Structure 1
Amino acid sequence: MGKSWSLLWHNDRRRCVVVRAQEGESSQSDADFEARVAALRKAKGQMPSGESRKKEAVPSRKKEAPKYDFSGEQLHWEGTPHRGDLVTNLALGTTLLWLPLTFAAIGRGAFIKFKFTDKRVSVITNAPWKNEQLDVPYQEVKDVVTVGRGLGFWGDMVVTLRNGDKVELRSLPQFRELKAYIFERRDAMREESLGGRGAAGRPAKGFAA
């Protein structure tokens, strides 16, 4: 009786040892599996749950605007907004609804001047609260749109630049002639920058060789 009990006890002990060994192997295999998964996530750029990755700051590279040389430029036209615009708005200013437009016309006539040279268009503002000059090189012009005002004696001009910006010239005299001049100078200066050759690599139209 004592012998059989000893065998059973040994068998139970072995069984316990076997069970514990299996549990140890299972925990070790789980740890290996988790380590492999974490390594794969890191290789793919993912972080294990509970961890975070700080985004590295990437310095932004702003494209510098090209610099143009305006030395030696020749004046083509210079003037203020058309006086007819001011007179019309003053007459309509007798109505309260038109007063904001009247004040805007007075400000344009008193403080704004337009300047067209053979190299750029300039909008000059000389007001007590604002003093600046906005220059538009002809090489940066993408499109020009005009709308006639005052029976066609003056008009509004919107110059669209290659970067998408827009420059507005309100109540501009001779707006049709100045629009044509902008396109003429833009094309001429682009041809000069290409060394006298067109965009497709063909010689620019002009005198025969």
Structure 2
Amino acid sequence: MGFGSLMSLYPDVSGGVFTAFNGPAVPDFVKDVNSIIHYRVADMLLGLDPWLNTTTACSFPQPWAKDPVTDVTMPPAPSRDFPRDKRDYEGTFGNSIFGNLTVYLNSTDDTLRFKVGLIGHGVILPLSPVNSVLLKGPASQFAPVVAYVEEMQGAINRLVIPETPPEPPVVFVRGMKLTDVEEPPTEGGVYARCCLWC
């Protein structure tokens, strides 16, 4: 939850703009800052009358859209019981881009927990429908994520985190570890690894 960036290019006028921001746990509505700047620069570069100006920029996206602060989609409410034995969820699930997600049963308080990346950690709560769970961590480090549990021959084999189309879902496969994935060749032997929640 550390950064956001946006680049817009306007080849017909030989112009463009790139913006980036970073910081801890940025609320979704703050991420519109990039869009606001890009809309304004686009109007300037294309010689159009700016529809975002000193009067409307601070109220954006109103009056054109709903207020994102009050129009937040919340994940479904957790249910009380898992539909199967919690130990069935335990294991390491891997994704070649985002690394390993480890699920384990905390014997002290009988909660199902997860660890992902260097700092992502939290509790797993069952949701309704029965094939979904909520990964909930400390708010300053990890936003709540809904994941769908996929089974093969009665065993949990994948955790699928849906994304907004056209982006594909993020799929964590049971038994795949990041060390199992071959690192691509790079120039000069330098390779950088990206992690979703690092």
Q: Same fold (TM over 0.5)?
A: no
Given the two structures, how large is their TM-score scaled by the length of structure 2?
A: 0.28
More strand by share: 2
> Greater CA radius of gyration, 1 or 2?
1
Given the two structures, how large is their TM-score scaled by the length of structure 1?
A: 0.27
More helix by share: 1
The one of the two structures with greater contact order (alpha-carbon pairs below 8 A, sep at least 6) is 2
